[in-house]
Amino acid sequence: MTTATLPKPDMPPAPASAPDSLPLTSEQLDRFGEELDAIRGRVLADRGQRDVDYIRGVIRAQRGLEAAGRGLLWAGVFPPAWLAGTAALSLSKILDNMEIGHNVMHGQYEWTNDPKLSGKRFEWDTACPADQWRHSHNYMHHTYTNIVGKDRDIGYGILRMSEDQPWHPYYLGNPLWATLLALFFEYGVALHDLEVERQVKGEIDRSEKRELRRGIWRKVRGQALKDYVFFPALSGPLFVFPLAGNATANVVRNVWAFTIIFCGHFPEGTHEFSEEETENETRGQWYHRQLLGSANLSGGPLFHILAGNLSFQIEHHLFPDLPANRYADISAEVREICERYGLSYNVGPLHRQFGSVVRKIGRLALPGSGGSLFGRAIRAFG
Amino acid sequence: MALKLAQRPKLGFLDAFAVPHGVDGYLEQIDPLLVRGECRAAVSRVERLTPESITLTLRPNRVWRGFEAGQFVRVAVEIEGVRHERCYSPASVEGRGGLEITVKRHPKGLVSNFLVDRARPGMVLGLSLAEGDFRLPRRRPGSILLIGGGSGLTPLTAILRTLLAEGYERPVALLHYAPDPERAIYREELARLAARHSNFKLLRSYTQAPGLGEIDGHFTPTHLPEADPCFAEAETFACGPPALLDAVRGTWANGLEHRLHVESFVPPTFVPVGEGGEGAIRFAESGVEVENSGGSLLEQAEAAGLQPAYGCRMGICHSCTCRKTAGTHRNLITGEVSSAPGEEIQLCVSAALGDVSIEL
């Protein structure tokens, strides 16, 4: 469990009590849940043409950016074309993964009955097979958010992101592993469900994961052939330009997705939970845990779109299947409710939240909570 | 409730470039009809044959495989962002280019009223491939009797037009029931066809305007000899409201059933299953369990807050088909009871008998 929240100018003070001794009575939590349910019900009833038009507009923009990016990179031997093409393709992949893929696969647009917007059918432009993502993310991560030992998004089985994860000398490499994870994030996500570290420890048998491995291989192969063989081949002897552009776009998307996602659950002030304290949760308690485990990013409309509206991580975790384009509308109301119940609503600009994540990654490389003199020294440099 | 996607055409290397969205994901941004993995159609012509109906000529994309006279298609429209599917029987001649459907206004018909009010040339609709066993045998029968009412006239019109267009010379008769001439779809064309083809006999009954047609009142067996003295030997196709079909079925219930083909456009009224309202229904993938009320599994799933795919809600289109992993269910249309596990069942016309587990 993290210690007291650092004071932040645009954040109301955190509740004085520690989060594991819940600051609210169960009646208060019930009412808190009812108020959030009311918001949810209102948005559900109001879904309609505007939401469909919105997501289709984003898809249209993504397909256009991708076509433009690939076209420019074909002629990537000219530096302006390479730069513009790489930028367009990076944006395309970011939109595809964040605002379209993540949200459509949550089933946020399933009520439209449009097969193209079906959460069960959508496949995205990244290494992770969509069906595996739906399990690890929609089910595991969203149901067991920030529960250490259940939510594999806590460090992806690679990093130490919570004091509750026992320290091991391996975690001295936390900053290095985090950098590698950021650069190759799509593969980190793709390997998510293989639970490689548990295979290494002998907790699970390798053969249990055969089907998953097969699915990952199929997806990774298709993606790699497209970006690193087929499109470069179209440029003949100048293949290296689209090849470099495609690789750059993938890395840009990786780093961006890593940044946004880690800012969603790991800035100072977010909490992790144990399996015991989350047993037999009421709806109000579930909402409460989602709130305490999530953090928002402030920014403009374009920033929110590129973040897949995960900049409204709190609203997303409270209401994962509401269309993401509605999170901005309801965020003021959610915040007002939280403040009324004395609950902290963790929000800050990207640089501050990410800085906080980076410090945590460095701090937890060391034993305990990294609160030692040595740890503080490291933090001063972080 | 997506339309059953047509088999995705193999584009080989092109699709390898378009991973993971496929070539269609880009083509449809240029023109929604260009897709190769999904049947769609544009409205090319709009006519109003009666004040309460609209007749649309559709131009399907290249996925369309044609239909046999009598079959139906599922048409999908988007209303307020939500896609809705309904079944319509084309009324046009089989094997010809244009696909014609006639939609009648319904007091509570969301899709029918939308189409009657809003359909315009250029509008793009979702389309399934043609389905259904209600169709002319390939080997045309020796004589044919058609019995229809309301919008049930559309598949019969397709059958009639197809027969006459291909020069069928054997007797064909149509018993047409409508409230009054004003609301009788295809009235003028049928009259023209009857005047032009001596082998086609048209008998109309206007149930709310007696005396205006050749016969009067609702269907009775006494209408039959007037249409075809040898009606028992004719291959008979009936389509229309439940009361009409019940009366027709009753008449053909004496060993002639094999000559009767029936298509129902209206959901059958479900008899509450006496012994069915017991046990629990488990929707396994959603992790939801509800007490069995005895109603259709689709309704119970929806009442439990799930959003299963569905289409016709009358047991035709298979949009709502799910795997039953355990338990006994009863088909509400056929009354068939089955305990086989792992069956694909249609939720809209299946009720649980005791504990049932559904992959939903």
Q: Would the CB atoms of B20 and A114 count as touching at under 8 Å? A: no
* Count of the separate structural domains present in chain A: 1
What pLDDT shows up at residue B11?
A: 55
Q: How confident is the model at residue B178 (pLDDT cuts 50, 70, 90)?
A: very high
Per-residue pLDDT tens digits for B296-343: 999 999 999 998 877 667 665 566 778 888 888 998 877 778 776 667
In a domain, A10, yes or no: no
In a domain, A11, yes or no: no
Q: Which residue has the tokens 């027969």?
A: B163
Q: Which domain holds residue A244?
A: 26-47+129-381
In a domain, A95, yes or no: no
Euclidean distance between CA atoms A140 and A126, whole angstroms: 20
What pLDDT shows up at residue B336?
A: 77
Q: How confident is the model at residue B269 (pLDDT cuts 50, 70, 90)?
A: very low
Residues in B closer than 8 angstroms to A110, CB to CB, are: 307
What pLDDT shows up at residue B10?
A: 56
Burial category of B65 from C-beta neighbours within 10 Å (exposed 0-12, middle 13-18, buried 19 and up): exposed
In a domain, A145, yes or no: yes
Chain B positions with Cβ closer than 8 Å to A: 1-3, 5, 13, 16-17, 19-21, 25-26, 29, 38, 76, 78, 80-85, 307, 309
Q: In the predicted model, what is the mean pLDDT of residues A220-241?
A: 97
Quote the DSSP letter at residue A258: H
Q: What is the DSSP secondary-structure string of A116-162?
A: GG-TTT---SSSS-HHHHIIIIIIIIHHSTTBTTT-TTTGGGTS--S
Q: Would the CB atoms of B25 and A60 count as touching at under 8 Å? A: no
What pLDDT shows up at residue A208?
A: 87
Per-residue pLDDT tens digits for B63-113: 999 999 999 998 999 999 988 888 899 999 999 878 999 999 988 788 999
For residue B20, cis peptide bond before it (omega within 30 degrees of 0)? yes
Q: In the predicted model, what is the mean pLDDT of residues A238-254?
A: 98
User: Average pLDDT, whole number, for chain A?
Assistant: 89
Residues in A closer than 8 angstroms to B306, CB to CB, are: none
In a domain, A69, yes or no: no
Euclidean distance between CA atoms B241 and A74, whole angstroms: 61
Q: Would the CB atoms of A115 and B3 count as touching at under 8 Å? A: yes
Within 10 angstroms of residue B108's Cβ, the number of other Cβ atoms is 6
What pLDDT shows up at residue B331?
A: 84
Q: Would the CB atoms of B13 and A230 count as touching at under 8 Å? A: yes
CA A364 to chain centre: 20
Q: How confident is the model at residue A14 (pLDDT cuts 50, 70, 90)?
A: very low
In a domain, A310, yes or no: yes
In a domain, A91, yes or no: no
Burial category of B184 from C-beta neighbours within 10 Å (exposed 0-12, middle 13-18, buried 19 and up): buried
Which of A64, A113, A226 lies closest to B83 in CB terms? A113
Q: Would the CB atoms of B81 and A112 count as touching at under 8 Å? A: yes
Residues in A closer than 8 angstroms to B84, CB to CB, are: 113
**A60 Cβ under 8 Å from any chain B Cβ:** yes
Please determine, for residue B1, whether its predicted confidence score (pLDDT) is greater than 60.
no
What pLDDT shows up at residue A376?
A: 52
Euclidean distance between CA atoms A192 and B273, whole angstroms: 47
**A226 Cβ under 8 Å from any chain B Cβ:** yes
Question: A65, A66, A113: which to substitute to probe chain B, counting the most B Cβ within 10 Å?
Answer: A113
Q: Would the CB atoms of A114 and B1 count as touching at under 8 Å? A: no
Q: Would the CB atoms of B78 and A52 count as touching at under 8 Å? A: yes
Q: In the predicted model, what is the mean pLDDT of residues A357-364?
A: 96
In a domain, A101, yes or no: no
What pLDDT shows up at residue B259?
A: 93
Q: Would the CB atoms of B78 and A114 count as touching at under 8 Å? A: yes
Euclidean distance between CA atoms B181 and B178, whole angstroms: 7
Which of A115, A130, A226 lies closest to B2 in CB terms? A115
For residue A47, what is the nearest residue in chain B, using CA coordinates? Answer: B81
Question: B3, B21, B312: which to substitute to probe chain A, counting the most A Cβ within 10 Å?
Answer: B21
Per-residue pLDDT tens digits for B183-241: 999 999 999 999 999 999 999 999 999 999 999 999 999 999 999 999 989 999 999 99
Q: In the predicted model, what is the mean pLDDT of residues A102-129?
A: 88
What pLDDT shows up at residue B82?
A: 86
Cα–Cα nearest to A118, from A103, A128, A133, A97 = A103
Euclidean distance between CA atoms B52 and A229, whole angstroms: 58
Locate all alpha helices (DSSP H) within chain B, ordered by sequence.
13-17, 22-30, 110-118, 153-165, 187-196, 223-227, 242-251, 297-303
What pLDDT shows up at residue B315?
A: 66
Q: Are strands B172-178 and B337-338 parallel, antiparallel or unpaired?
A: unpaired
Half-sphere exposure of residue B175: CA atoms within 13 angstroms, side-chain side? 28
Domains of chain B, start order: 13-127 (2.40.30.10), 144-264 (3.40.50.80), 274-358 (3.10.20.30)
Give the least confident one: A72-86, A198-212, A218-232, B39-53: A198-212
CA–CA min distance A114, chain B (Å):
6
Q: Would the CB atoms of B13 and A123 count as touching at under 8 Å? A: no
CA–CA min distance B22, chain A (Å):
10
Euclidean distance between CA atoms A10 and B311, whole angstroms: 50
